[in-house]
Amino acid sequence: MSFNNDGDRAYPANALVIIPTYNESENIGRLIGDLHTLYAGELDILVIDDNSPDGTAAIVNGLKENIPSLHLIQREKKLGLGTAYITGFRYALEKGYGYIIEMDADFSHDPKVIRQFFETMEKESPGVVIGSRYMNNTVNVVNWPLGRLILSKMASIYTRVITGMPVEDPTSGFKCFSAEVLGKLDLDRINSQGYSFQIEMHFRVWKMGFTIREIPIVFVDRSVGKSKMTRKNIREAVWIVWWLKLKSLVGLLH
C-alpha cells in the first residue's frame, strides 16, 4: 500500500471503467467529465458504443484529445450489453488493468462510489464488489415506478432462492471485478444479456470460490434518455437462473 504526501490513500492507476452506450449523447459528455475530474491519473475510461445514431461516439471522440485516459471502441451495430462488457473485459485483460468496473452511462450509478470500490478491493481483496440497491432489507432506488421496483426486487429474491447465491442484488450493473477473476472466467461461454448477464457473471464468480462483497448504493433512475431494458431481457433472466443451477449440478459450468 502506498500513500500520497498528505497521507491519503493512493488509489490504483491500473483501473478501467467500462461504459456501454447506445444513444447516450445527452449523458456521456458530462459523465466522462465527472469521472476525469474525480479520478484523473487513477482510472481509465473505455466507452463501447453500438453505432448510436444520436452521435454518442462523436462526442466521445471529441473529448479524447484532452482526456488521454479516455478510449473508445465503436461497434458496427447494436449488439447488446453482455457482448459489450465481454469486449471490454478482453480489452482490460489485454492491457493489464488490475480492476475493471462496470457502469451505466445514464447517471443511475454515482461516479463517487467507485472510490468505495477501490477501498473495498484494497482492504478485503474480494473477487468482485457489487453496488447493491437492496442491502439489509432496504430499497435504495429513486424515481422508479412501483411496477419496475417490484419486478427488480422480486427478480433478486427469485435468483437467490433458485441458485442459492448469497447476493442481495444479483442483477446490479454497477460493480468492480479483479483482473484475477476475469482472467479465470471462460468469457467465450458467456452469452447472456441484460439482467441475466449480471446474474450469470455473479454466479460464475461465486461458483469459482471467489468472495463477493456488496456495498450499499443509491440507484437514481435516468433523468434523460430511454431505458434499454426489454421484455426479452426479462424473459431471459427468468430462465437463466435454472440453466445456471442445472449446469452447476451436473458439473458443466466452466
What does the pLDDT look like over 96-118, one tens digit per residue? 999 999 999 999 999 999 999 99
For residue 5, pLDDT over 50 is answered with no
Degrees (nearest 5) of the Cα angle 197, 200, 100? 70
What's residue 19's pLDDT?
98
CA-based torsion, 110, 116, 191, 18: positive or negative: positive
What's residue 39's pLDDT?
95
CATH homologous superfamily of 15-249? Spore Coat Polysaccharide Biosynthesis Protein SpsA; Chain A (3.90.550.10)
Please state, rounded to an integer, the average pLDDT across all residues of the chain: 88
Q: 133-183, pLDDT tens digit by residue?
A: 998 878 888 877 888 788 888 888 999 999 999 999 999 999 999 999 999
What's residue 150's pLDDT?
83
50 close to 21: Cβ distance less than 8 angstroms: yes
97 close to 16: Cβ distance less than 8 angstroms: yes
For residue 9, pLDDT over 60 is answered with no
For residue 227, pLDDT over 60 is answered with no
Average pLDDT score over residue span 205-225: 88
What's residue 137's pLDDT?
79
Residues in the chain: 254
Q: Indicate the pairing of strand 212-216 with strand 141-142.
A: unpaired
For residue 230, pLDDT over 70 is answered with no
> What is the rounded CA–CA span in Å between residue 41 and residue 44?
8
For residue 92, pLDDT over 80 is answered with yes
Average pLDDT score over residue span 69-87: 95
Which segment, 46-50, 169-173, 233-237, is predicted with the most confidence on average? 46-50
What's residue 226's pLDDT?
60
223 vs 101 pLDDT, higher one: 101
Please state the three-class secondary structure of the chain as a single string: CCECCCCCECCCCCEEEEEEECCCCCCHHHHHHHHHHHHCCCEEEEEEECCCCCCHHHHHHHHHCCCCCEEEEECCCCCCHHHHHHHHHHHHHHHCCCEEEECCCCCCCCCCHHHHHHHHHHHHCCCEEEEECCHHHCCCEECCCHHHHHHHHHHHHHHHHHHCCCCCCCCCCCEEEEHHHHHHCCHHHCCCCHHHHHHHHHHHHHHCCCCEEEEECCEECCCCCCCCCCHHHHHHHHHHHHHHHHHHHCCCCC
Average pLDDT score over residue span 1-18: 55
For residue 1, pLDDT over 60 is answered with no
For 145, the grid coordinates are 415506478
For the chain, the domains span 15-249
